[in-house]
Chains A and B, each alone.
Chain A
């Protein structure tokens, strides 16, 4: 069910996906305006309470701007928008959004962004890697992201941000395959298990 940016209610949903797109045209820093949307404080509170939240592409940027996830996404190192089918290595298969995968599994989903270069300070990056909070690495870095990081999670594993687009790999007719389905089947099994 769609949530409206200016409506602070989550309408009893069990999980939230912040999709990709160009919120407010990305004219300022990506996600920097959307994080102030009226619905965001409710989502931040729910996420802190353990609700599964997935941010894809622009949604990842919004999660970083909201400080639900550390680091930031900046202009691709080569300065171009890039769209291609992208192999990813799943590094953490224990989160609410990745438990259908196995650690080390390589999946292919499309990547498409102009500002997908993940950056953080050394300490943050060390912490993320030490705590297993990098959920996926690029196999062949498309945008200059530090340490090839494609997606990360919070300490609790309920909030995940990922730059590539698993929702574009859910049927063979319109995507490179169905490798992205795991993100959505993961959250369904997490929710069922939690009940």
Chain B
């Protein structure tokens, strides 16, 4: 058997004319020319792989950088300890604690291999949070699928849900919320976003920079295999063609038990102050970790790749560098602390291997059995990648979309309400959410189906609320407003629980940046988000861009998913979404206008997408949030529910079904019953207040200038809208609950008991 020829630096110098397969690795002609210039010779196979990975859209943000810089200009406020640029932003929450949170996409892997793609999406974001020094304490997952009844949705949805549950449940992380939205624009490209939040003592914050000549580079965790090669450079940075996914080996395979061991080992190592720098190995594997740590520390580094524990002995150095095998971390450790690190790793059953050291100078040298296969400036990989000002153009069809005539508004009937609550986007997501452990660790205060998840961080009652939102239809109709509507909805959801919104993360899911119309959508959406974050004083602490969500040249609806973090001084004052008891007064906060452009009604009943989305009023959102927080603080609210998709009708149904408490509603004079019930005007919430608090609460609203309209009382076991409709809660519940089980199989426990084994 011939041993394969390894393309060393020496070999590259000796064979300068050899053609390198750069375009197969996703590099463009001008990018390759730049590599030749940077190196002054042709790259080795390993160097080429590293450049292709680090300069990929996924790692380099080459198309989005110029737009994302707007987020950096939002005033940071006093709480942000670490901002964008590190693995995740860190926010001071008091009591000596800090939290770090981030949302990321794992869209393409989840389409190719739904279970593993989604599972490793959770694994990857959890390591991002761990890397900052935090103990991960929760996950959330915003999901988008094609039409609910499309055959391919049946292929991907059950696997994605099982993968998220399989990995998160096994790690022991509660899944406290997320979204499930169906729209044909995601047919060939579902969105699987994963959010994780972690907590740490402020003094435990870890950074990634490798410093200190002679310090040891230690690889922790799973052995390196051939899984995931080409994941970021090819799979995540290109669109699918009409034949659909075929790149299964580019998807990694998850091992949540190893991740759990890695978490515990790393936290013990952090607590003992044994590392100088740490970096997770995510989508770009060792390439990214070696490059980022040495570039951030402006240090030299030498890595002996042949020391990396391998799953397959025949792997060559290029494969070792490009592998995206999961559950690995890279730590920089002083020689004095090496033994202590190895001992802790051994205690947790985690493989730890010294693979290199920090050196003088600024070169990153990667050796394979003593021969250099890589010799580069790490900064040229990490920081000197291409930056593109891509051409932008307003979509040609946008004017006609915005001017499209809306379907005629109907009379409101019981049938309309039942059809709306049963529609795939408004119906109960129990089928999905029951597959997630929402309470493990014992600190979950609110989770699905609440507006936001709430988790206690300390015995004092200190806690956080988190919500994610994003509406692709609104963003398609107006990307500037659509991104803002995603933000204000999440902001409102957090405030509805009583928490004060303090920070934002985002996952920007768009089509191909090489399409000028997509690039225009991206530019408008980032501008809208940055402007709104500035006004709401919610700085962006981090995020992720996912481009190339496009199939056969058709992009998805632009989908900025925005996560808002809220803070509680005392989680025991959280406001739930559901009506608590009969006899409370129902108040509608905010103004209702005739705003059904891009609405759930237009889509669910008419497959119509047109007009303009609801108007954004940031000052109003801020005022509404202040009132909801004050109401929680002063114990005036029995319940609060934000109004968004499906309007007041949907909010009434969800609040009534939560605990089975009905309502008698009298719609005020003004717009038609249809508009009042189904318009999606922003800046609104439905609250119930005990009779004894009604006066105090409404006076507070009028003193602050927030419209507050009495619309009824909680009562009985039906939803009764005077002169409009009456429907029993059980009938509503049946309609609300039946849709997903009918599509994806009966709910757990709905089948006959297990037949006994014959003796």
Contact = CB atoms under 8 A, between A and B. Distances in A.
A58 B170 CA distance: 11
B444 A147 contact: no
Nearest to B436: A83
Interface string B448-461: 00000000100000
Nearest to A25: B257
B159 to A, nearest CB: 12
Nearest to A20: B440
Contacts of B172: 21-22
A82 B439 contact: no
Contact of A82 (B260, B435, B445, B571): B435
Nearest to B161: A80
A19 to B, nearest CB: 10
Contacts of A147: 753, 756
Contacts of A117: 754
Interface in B405-422: none
A122 B438 CA distance: 35
Given A82-B434, A83-B435, A174 B169 contact: no
Contacts of A24: 257
Interface in B740-759: 745-751, 753-754, 756-759
A123 B442 CA distance: 38
Given A80-B435, A121-B759, A173-B571, A114 B169 contact: yes
If over half of B's interface residues share one DSSP class (helix, strand or loop), that class is named, otherwise mixed; here it is loop
Interface string A158-193: 000000000110000111000000000000000000
B751 A148 contact: no
Most central of A20, A148, A173 by chain B CB within 10 Å: A173
B434 A26 contact: no
Given A168-B442, A173-B572, A146 B754 contact: yes
Interface string B206-250: 000000000000000000000000000000000000000000000
A173 to B, nearest CB: 6
Given A78-B748, A78-B749, A26 B756 contact: no
A25 B257 CA distance: 5
Contacts of B746: 78
B170 A22 contact: yes
Interface in B161-175: 162, 165-166, 169-170, 172
B442 A82 contact: no
A174 B754 contact: no
A123 B753 contact: no
B690 to A, nearest CB: 18
A143 interface: yes
A33 B60 CA distance: 43
Given A22-B169, A167-B442, A174-B444, A82 B757 contact: no
B379 interface: no
A31 B162 CA distance: 21
Given A83-B435, A174-B445, A122 B257 contact: no
Contacts of B300: none
A174 B456 contact: yes
Contacts of B693: none
B443 interface: yes
Nearest to A145: B754
A140 interface: yes
A140 B749 contact: yes
Interface string A80-93: 11111000000000
A145 B756 CA distance: 9
A78 B258 CA distance: 27
A147 B572 CA distance: 39
Interface string B157-195: 000001001100110100000000000000000000000
Contacts of B747: 78
Interface in B36-79: none
B659 to A, nearest CB: 12
A25 B171 CA distance: 9
Nearest to B750: A78
A123 B445 contact: no
A143 B759 contact: no
Contacts of A140: 749
B283 interface: no
B257 A22 contact: yes
A25 B456 contact: no
Given A122-B759, A141-B753, A168 B748 contact: no
Contact of B757 (A78, A83, A121): A121
Interface string B395-412: 000000000000000000
A119 B755 CA distance: 10
A83 B255 CA distance: 22
A181 B353 CA distance: 46
A82 B749 contact: yes
Contact of A122 (B443, B750, B757): B757
B437 interface: yes
A7 B745 CA distance: 45
Contacts of B437: 81, 83, 112
B162 A80 contact: yes
Contacts of B440: 20, 112
Contacts of B434: 80-84
A119 B758 CA distance: 12
B123 interface: no
A54 B701 CA distance: 52
B40 to A, nearest CB: 48
B256 interface: yes
Contacts of A78: 745-751
A144 B755 CA distance: 8
A78 B753 CA distance: 10
A26 B170 contact: yes
Contacts of A27: 257
A76 interface: yes
B141 to A, nearest CB: 14
A172 B544 CA distance: 37
B754 A77 contact: yes
A25 B749 contact: no
A114 B749 CA distance: 12
B137 to A, nearest CB: 13
Contacts of B439: 83, 110, 112, 168, 174-175
A45 to B, nearest CB: 25
Given A122-B759, A143-B748, A83 B753 contact: no
Contacts of B260: 22, 25
Given A22-B172, A25-B255, A173-B445, A144 B756 contact: no
A88 to B, nearest CB: 13
B224 to A, nearest CB: 19
A148 B434 CA distance: 20
Given A27-B257, A147-B756, A76 B442 contact: no
Interface string A122-161: 1101000000000000001111111110000000000000
A115 to B, nearest CB: 11
Contact of B753 (A81, A112, A114, A144): A144
Contacts of B169: 22, 81, 112, 114
Contacts of A83: 433-439
B754 A81 contact: no
B257 A123 contact: no
Interface string B423-442: 00000000001111111101
A80 B456 contact: no
10 contacts: A22-B169, A26-B170, A81-B162, A81-B435, A81-B437, A119-B757, A142-B749, A145-B753, A173-B456, A173-B571
Interface of B: 162, 165-166, 169-170, 172, 255-258, 260, 433-440, 442-445, 456, 571-572, 745-751, 753-754, 756-759
**Closest CB pairs A-B (n = 6):** A25-B257, A122-B759, A82-B748, A144-B754, A142-B749, A22-B170
Given A25-B258, A147-B756, 20 more contacts: A22-B257, A22-B260, A25-B170, A25-B255, A78-B746, A80-B435, A81-B437, A83-B435, A84-B748, A112-B169, A112-B439, A121-B757, A122-B759, A144-B754, A146-B754, A168-B442, A173-B572, A174-B439, A174-B456, A175-B439
